[in-house]
């Protein structure tokens, strides 16, 4: 298997190296949204003002479109850009009448609840890597990239607030990004106002799906000065780890390991992990929300998050086999190797993960035509272990006119030990999409074989065939109207088994109302029927409402209630959560959810989830958090018998980052049901390129 993967890897490397000999060409500068790169003879001061005369020579644009409500911007946002051989300098001057939201003080922790200004860059064009640099009004910064989900280089943002709004000045290094030598980059500038639930942007078009859509981004021209600075360096990530734990949590351990990334071309890398460490603090994913399906968990292991953006890029409607590659199903590898990158309009990736007695591999490739009307994708996964071989391949062809129509076909085939016939392992899907920015209809026909269930995929349903259709429409009102937006949607699925009986049905309608006073109301009604294996069919009829206040800010409050049939009972489900400020740097989050199941046999079961989290930002590179959660009671059964749970989890984490290193002190694991009595000390040192580049 290792030789097989090596041959595939060599073929991809050879193809990439050959393609990389072709020179990149800049896109024509006469596009509707294009700004020339103004040369910074002297770097401007970064002090949260435009007092430095150097800014007077900057290129200037305005963010004059309200994407959220499809109308001209109500508030002014000016952006200024300068470039030299090593950096891009950006300044935002923001006018804002709403109260400024700037609660995050620690860098690289996400800014999803603050007001922000955002610079998006595609140095390799609209099919190249996406680099996103975000800052809030006080200069706290965060970044992300399609190249690596752990992208977190060091860059600079300084922000100051004033009576009219705020000003942010930034310096973004060129050597943390990867381009293909072209002199015209794709560029988008964006601003979010949390209290108004509004997004302003620079480049826009009627058919645009979102500010992050590179197909409708503008152009930063004249970037020849930066062409030699965008290739990243080799990166060696060394870590040492000490764990002090009782036997139930694995006992005391110590280890040293490494992850590395070696550039092969300007836009591709060979990546490996040796003695991998997966002690990162995970997200709290425990829930008591009732469902008939297995729960998906988010991948947190660095080797798999590194290349996650190269897989699962298929478009599907009412997906029954997504994600196609589900890496949490892969055991922790002893070591692993991957190759991935982008070359012109081709995107590709491949990895091999080796553990004791098991080998998991995956490869992917995608191509988009220059006019973006045709897209071709392919993906393969395999698992080999004692007595078991599993191999599945997928391919998709999609054709559309970009702005309001597309159609696609997906073909998949699983082969291996558990598949006795080609028909049993097949996956077929055909879909048609009709849409505009405010409405859409998305229909599909699915045909999934009776034995289809790849080991490294997440398959919600197999042995199904039948149609699905989803539609939505948004009604947008004037900026002074009490109701800003009403969204209505309906989803219908009806599947039969290959033997002809009804296998799964789903019908759901919802209405969402967003008000000017930051209240949001959602009403939903729907029913589900599902047949699993030899179980008698299960039926659910859940109807409910949810009310939220300031849901897009750092202090949201939400409450929801659902009622209806669920399996062999009648279910009431409540969810309540709120976040409160603890001074300027702290947040307290409280949650209390419960289910009450009145079974048909006259018994009743009650289950509670109670959660409290405190996060405190000690500084721009230091944070501390404590989380406590308890689940107690008996949850509502759908097919199986009810299970009683009485579990408490406590976790504590301290994090500090210095220039080229990170330090973690962690007690417990928030992803476990009950407290894991272990204490972890972890040090990571980055040699060469920066984190995630």
pLDDT in tens, 86-139: 999 999 999 999 999 998 999 988 888 899 999 999 998 888 889 999 999 999
User: For residue range 493-505, what is the model confidence (pLDDT) as tens digits?
Assistant: 999 999 888 999 9
Mean pLDDT of all residues belonging to the chain: 87
Confidence (pLDDT) at 475: 94
Structure confidence at residue 22 as a pLDDT band (50, 70, 90): very low
Length of the chain: 693
Show the domains of the chain with their CATH numbers: 31-226 (2.60.40.1190), 235-688 (2.40.170)
Structure confidence at residue 406 as a pLDDT band (50, 70, 90): very high
Hey, how many other C-beta atoms are within 10 angstroms of the C-beta on 572? Answer: 17
360: tokens are 């998991």
Confidence (pLDDT) at 124: 87
* pLDDT at residue 693 greater than cutoff 90: no
Q: Comparing 433 with 479, which gets the higher pLDDT? A: 433
- DSSP annotation of 633: E
The fraction of the chain above a pLDDT of 70, given in percent, is 92
Q: Comparing 671 with 141, which gets the higher pLDDT? A: 141
User: For residue range 481-531, what is the model confidence (pLDDT) as tens digits?
Assistant: 899 999 999 999 999 999 888 999 999 999 999 998 889 999 999 999 988
Cβ burial of 371 (10 Å; 0-12, 13-18, 19+) is exposed
Helix (H) or strand (E) holding 302: helix 302-306
Cα–Cα distance, 307 to 277 (Å, whole number): 17
Confidence (pLDDT) at 284: 64
Could you tell me the sign of the dihedral formed by the alpha carbons of 146, 147, 152, 156, in that order?
Answer: negative
312-336 burial, b at 16+ Cβ within 10 Å, e below that, comes to bebbbbbbbbbbbbbbeebeebeeb
E strands, 417-518, where? 426-436, 439-448, 464-476, 483-496, 502-515
Please give the model's pTM, rounded to 2 decimal places: 0.83
- If you average pLDDT over residues 221-230, what whole number do you get? 78
24: tokens are 């990149």
Confidence (pLDDT) at 77: 97
Confidence (pLDDT) at 278: 57
Q: What angle do CA 317, 448, 390 make, to 5 degrees?
A: 115
Q: Which ranges of 20-65 does DSSP label H, i.e. alpha helix?
A: none
Taking Cα atoms as reference points, which of 225, 220, 107 lies closest to residue 155?
107
Cα–Cα distance, 170 to 136 (Å, whole number): 11
Cα–Cα distance, 589 to 615 (Å, whole number): 9
Cα–Cα distance, 196 to 204 (Å, whole number): 20
**C-alpha dihedral over 552, 120, 407, 441, to 10 degrees?**
20
Q: Comparing 228 with 328, which gets the higher pLDDT? A: 328
* pLDDT at residue 611 greater than cutoff 90: yes
Structure confidence at residue 593 as a pLDDT band (50, 70, 90): very high
**Residue listed under structure tokens 């020579």:** 57
Structure confidence at residue 227 as a pLDDT band (50, 70, 90): low
Confidence (pLDDT) at 287: 62
Q: CB-based contacts of 594: which residues, under 8 Å, 6+ apart?
A: 288, 573, 574, 606, 607, 608, 609, 633
Structure confidence at residue 70 as a pLDDT band (50, 70, 90): confident
Structure confidence at residue 283 as a pLDDT band (50, 70, 90): low
Structure confidence at residue 26 as a pLDDT band (50, 70, 90): very low
């Amino acid at each position: 298997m290792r030789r097989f993967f090596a041959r595939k890897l060599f073929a991809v490397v050879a193809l990439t190296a050959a393609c990389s000999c072709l020179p990149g060409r800049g896109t024509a500068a006469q596009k509707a949204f294009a700004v020339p790169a103004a040369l910074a003879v002297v770097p401007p001061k970064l002090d949260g003002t435009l007092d430095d005369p150097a800014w007077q020579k900057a290129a200037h644009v305005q963010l004059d479109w309200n994407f959220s409500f499809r109308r001209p911007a109500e508030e002014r946002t000016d952006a200024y850009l300068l470039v030299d051989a090593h950096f891009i300098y950006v300044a935002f001057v923001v006018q804002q009448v709403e109260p400024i939201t700037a609660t995050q003080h620690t860098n690289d922790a996400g800014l999803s609840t603050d007001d922000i200004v955002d610079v998006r860059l595609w140095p390799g064009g609209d099919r190249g890597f996406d680099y996103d640099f975000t800052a809030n009004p006080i200069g706290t910064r965060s970044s992300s990239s399609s190249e690596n989900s752990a992208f977190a280089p060091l860059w600079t943002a300084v922000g100051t607030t004033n009576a009219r709004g705020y000003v942010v000045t930034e310096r973004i290094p060129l050597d943390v990004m990867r381009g293909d030598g072209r002199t015209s980059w794709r560029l988008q500038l964006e601003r979010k106002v949390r209290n108004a639930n509004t997004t302003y942007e620079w480049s826009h078009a009627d058919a645009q799906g979102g500010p992050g859509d590179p197909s409708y981004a503008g152009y930063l021209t004249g970037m020849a000065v930066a062409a030699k600075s965008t290739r990243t360096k080799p990166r060696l990530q060394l870590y040492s780890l000490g764990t002090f734990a009782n036997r139930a949590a694995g006992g005391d351990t110590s280890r040293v390991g490494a992850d590395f990334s070696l550039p092969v071309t300007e836009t591709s890398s060979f990546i490996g992990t040796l003695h991998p460490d997966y002690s990162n603090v995970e997200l709290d994913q425990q829930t008591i929300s009732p469902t008939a399906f297995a729960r998906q968990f988010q991948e947190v292991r660095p080797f798999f998050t590194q290349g996650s953006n190269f897989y699962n890029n298929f478009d599907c409607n009412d997906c029954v086999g997504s994600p196609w590659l589900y890496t949490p199903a892969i055991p922790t590898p002893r070591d692993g190797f991957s190759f991935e990158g982008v070359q012109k309009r081709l995107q590709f990736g491949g990895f091999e993960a080796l553990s004791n007695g098991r080998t998991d591999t995956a490869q992917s490739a995608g191509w988009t035509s220059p006019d973006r009307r045709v897209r071709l994708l392919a993906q393969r996964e395999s698992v080999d272990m004692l007595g078991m071989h599993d191999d599945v391949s997928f391919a998709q062809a999609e054709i559309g006119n970009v702005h309001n129509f597309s159609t696609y076909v997906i073909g998949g085939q699983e082969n291996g030990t558990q598949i006795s016939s080609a028909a049993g392992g097949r996956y077929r899907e055909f879909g048609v999409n009709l849409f505009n920015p405010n409405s859409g209809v998305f229909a599909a026909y699915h045909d999934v074989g009776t034995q289809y269930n790849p080991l490294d995929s997440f398959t919600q349903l197999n042995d199904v065939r039948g149609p699905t259709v989803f539609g939505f429409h948004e009604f947008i009102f004037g900026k002074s109207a009490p109701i800003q937006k009403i969204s209505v949607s309906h989803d219908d699925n009806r599947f039969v088994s290959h033997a002809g009986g009804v296998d799964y049905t789903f019908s759901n309608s919802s209405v969402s109302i967003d008000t000017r006073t930051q209240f949001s109301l959602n009403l939903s009604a729907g029913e589900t029927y599902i047949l699993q294996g030899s179980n008698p069919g299960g039926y659910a009829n859940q109807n409910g409402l949810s009310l939220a206040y300031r849901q897009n800010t750092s202090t949201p409050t939400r409450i929801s209630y659902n009622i209806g049939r669920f399996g062999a009972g009648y279910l009431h489900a409540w969810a309540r959560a709120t976040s409160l400020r603890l001074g300027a740097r702290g947040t307290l989050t409280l949650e209390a959810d419960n289910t009450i199941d009145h079974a048909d046999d006259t018994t009743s079961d009650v289950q509670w989830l109670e959660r409290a989290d405190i996060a405190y930002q000690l500084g721009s590179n230091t944070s501390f958090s404590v989380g406590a959660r308890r689940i107690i009671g008996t949850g509502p059964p759908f097919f199986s018998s009810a299970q009683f749970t009485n579990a408490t989890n406590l976790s504590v984490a301290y994090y500090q980052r210095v220039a080229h290193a990170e330090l973690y002190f962690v007690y417990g694991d928030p992803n476990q049901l009950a407290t894991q009595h272990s204490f972890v000390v972890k040090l990571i040192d980055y040699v060469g390129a920066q984190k995630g580049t």
